[in-house]
A and B are shown apart, each in its own frame.
Chain A
Amino acid sequence: MPTPPKSRDVRDALVGVGRAVRLVLLLALALVFLIPFYLLVRNGLSSEADITSPGWTFFPGELHWSNVRELFDDPNVPMAHALLNSSLIAVLTTVGTLLLASLAGYGLARIPYAYANVVFYWILGTLMVPAAVTFVPSFVLVSSLGWVSTLRGLVVPTLFSAVAAFIFRQYFLGFPRELEDAARVDGLGYWRTYWRVVVPNSRPVFAAVGTIVFIGAWNSFLWPLVIGQDRDAWTVQVALSTFTTAQTVNLHELFMAAAVSIVPLLVVFLVLQRYIVTGVERTGIDD
């Protein structure tokens, strides 16, 4: 059914109204998306009474910055140790994954080899096996190696990311060959071509994959829960979870700990955001 033609003025007015409605809706949604962050900080800086008060208010009575010191001084909460563990794990996982996956991706993309396709499918095959489902057998393997509650056990099994190798392969396939040819003429072999020419010219993809891996490692929970059984091996996520489920800690300390735990990621996020976005687009497997 054709609608009656509208005058230009009416249509312009409708477009303007539509735009305003959309903006109001976006602002409302943005507020909803930010509220959980606000609650995290609000509770972290509140007194215990303000959090559990029956007359709940959006703004707490007063802010207690001393909660930060209280958290790190509390002998029952191994927060500093957990932060150290998480930092070590996240950095080692990121560096290791970037190294291993980029080498594999480059080899697959650039070194001609008769069985390269077989190797490629062997790698892709692991994408069909969801990592979370293999935690039982992986635990069995790691425990038989005697790696439970060790840094090795927490890091090494997570270093071999088929997704990362796949992204690097796709990226290196599109890397300009002229640059490598020039290096070849200068007498550089595969190794030095890779380190001196390819890596320095591929910083964005390293930054993108690196930030995604770092976020994943910092936030991962199931594997550290399974492997990091001793208190000394707890990551931040495991420590937080233990307190949430056991309720042996004050709420304001728990929220302060959670707020502290997202600070490193927010820094990474704000500094490298555009790389994350391109990286996420690259993993969009829909090319």
Chain B
Amino acid sequence: MRGTCVRGLLGPQNRHLWFWIFIGPFVLGLTLFTYVPLAWSVYLSFFDAHNTVSPTDFVGLDNYAAMLGDDAFTDSLVTFLVFTAFIVPATYALSLSLALMVNRLRWAQAFFRSVFFLPVACSYVVAALIWKMSIFNGVRFGLANTVLDWFGADQIAWLSTTDPPWYWLVIVTVRLWLQAGFYMVLFLAGLQRISPRLYEAAAVDGARPGWQVFRHITFPQLRATSVAVVLLLVINAFQAFDEFYNLLSDSRGYPPYARPPLVYLYYTALGQGQNLGLGSAGAVILALIIAVVTVVQARWFGLGRKDD
């Protein structure tokens, strides 16, 4: 009797219940660990919250004013812009070039694809270690300075030279190495979706293989992939933390230059002073900027437009 009762309740006809059995735990967790912190962050940002997560001192928009009036924070936004201006076009060009070259290989395609994709398995921490302690070492034993020495050039203290800002070269190349292979795979997938008939038609029309075919067939056909790649690159650039932190901070702390927003927020909220209210205000500002940039970009590129 009880058995039939349970079976009736848990039977496939009871769809509402089954829907929530499948989805409930996930939605609950997502709410608790994304939406609740978000709401809490907005709440905290209106309070003076030093060293406490249950503040009592309401300060209104003071934290926002302090954050936006703080040169270190606005400088960190500029750092992000400069970083994005370098890393997005560089990664785009390198990953697309790699994909074009690997795609047409008749042999050893899997080998080259693996080699370029391999850095994806490496962490930013490990990569930053190699870059900082082995390639772009400021003293004589680094690879870059050894190569410079072969050509009779002077040694460079890569990470501490601010004029010219050689540290940018270190920061951009480490991320380029780590992520180019990932985007190459996206482009390879895009290239494989292009119909061979388009290339046949182009050949019949007399288009020369190479630049002409790339410009009029391949590149336009990769539009959807390109939009996705640029969008992901910008979002990821905005979240830069690992390589900056590991390349530039040392036992003396973090230098005042090349400090992107997340690094600055990390030190504000969790460093000495633990100013969680101020840190929350910064996080909210940053989240808003990212949301606006993402939406503007998506509209600009017409993401989701059904044109193919």
- A residues at B contact (CB < 8 Å): 3, 18, 22, 25-26, 29-30, 33-37, 39-40, 43, 51-54, 56, 100-101, 103-104, 106-108, 111-113, 116, 119, 122-123, 126, 128-141, 143-144, 156-157, 159-160, 162, 165, 184, 189-191, 194, 215, 218-219, 221-222, 226, 237, 240-241, 244-247, 251, 254-255, 258, 261-262, 265-266, 268-269, 273, 276-277, 280-281, 284-286
Contact = CB atoms under 8 A, between A and B. Distances in A.
B126 interface: yes
Nearest to B189: A281
A40 B126 contact: yes
A226 B242 contact: no
Given A33-B118, A141-B33, 8 more contacts: A53-B141, A54-B140, A134-B37, A136-B280, A156-B29, A244-B129, A251-B133, A286-B224
A1 B182 CA distance: 39
B44 interface: yes
Interface in B215-268: 224-225, 227-228, 235, 238-239, 241-242, 245-246, 249-251, 262, 265-266
Given A136-B280, A137-B283, A139-B269, A245 B126 contact: no
B101 A43 contact: no
B19 A107 contact: yes
A134 B31 CA distance: 13
Nearest to A267: B121
B90 interface: no
Contact of A246 (B239, B251, B294): B251
A245 B250 contact: yes
Report the 5 A-B pairs with minimum CB-CB distance, sorted nearest first.
A107-B22, A137-B41, A137-B37, A219-B123, A104-B26
Which of B18, B38, B186 counts the most A-chain CB atoms under 10 A from its CB? B18
A254 B129 CA distance: 9
B38 A134 contact: yes
A157 B34 CA distance: 8
B65 interface: no
Contacts of B26: 100-101, 103-104, 123, 160, 165
Contact of B27 (A36, A39, A122, A286): A122
A280 B186 contact: yes
B101 A133 contact: no
B189 A26 contact: no
B135 A36 contact: yes
17 contacts: A30-B112, A34-B115, A36-B130, A39-B134, A56-B140, A107-B22, A132-B262, A133-B287, A141-B36, A156-B29, A189-B10, A190-B22, A221-B125, A221-B241, A221-B242, A241-B125, A286-B224
B19 A113 contact: yes
A255 B129 contact: yes
B146 A56 contact: yes
A129 B34 contact: yes
Contacts of B88: none
A86 to B, nearest CB: 10
B22 A103 contact: yes
A128 B129 contact: no
B261 to A, nearest CB: 9
B279 to A, nearest CB: 5
B139 to A, nearest CB: 8
A160 B214 CA distance: 41
Contacts of A258: 125-126, 129-130
A128 B21 CA distance: 26
A159 B29 contact: yes
A284 B140 contact: no
Contacts of A222: 241-242, 262, 266
A3 B210 CA distance: 14
Contacts of A26: 101-102, 105, 112
Given A226-B270, A240-B125, A240-B126, A137 B44 contact: yes
B250 A141 contact: no
B53 interface: yes
B242 to A, nearest CB: 5
Contacts of A129: 34, 38, 287
A133 B22 contact: no
Contact of A104 (B23, B119, B142, B251): B23
Given A103-B26, A107-B23, A273-B114, A126 B123 contact: no
Contacts of A141: 32-33, 36-37, 40
Interface in B270-284: 270, 276, 279-280, 282-283
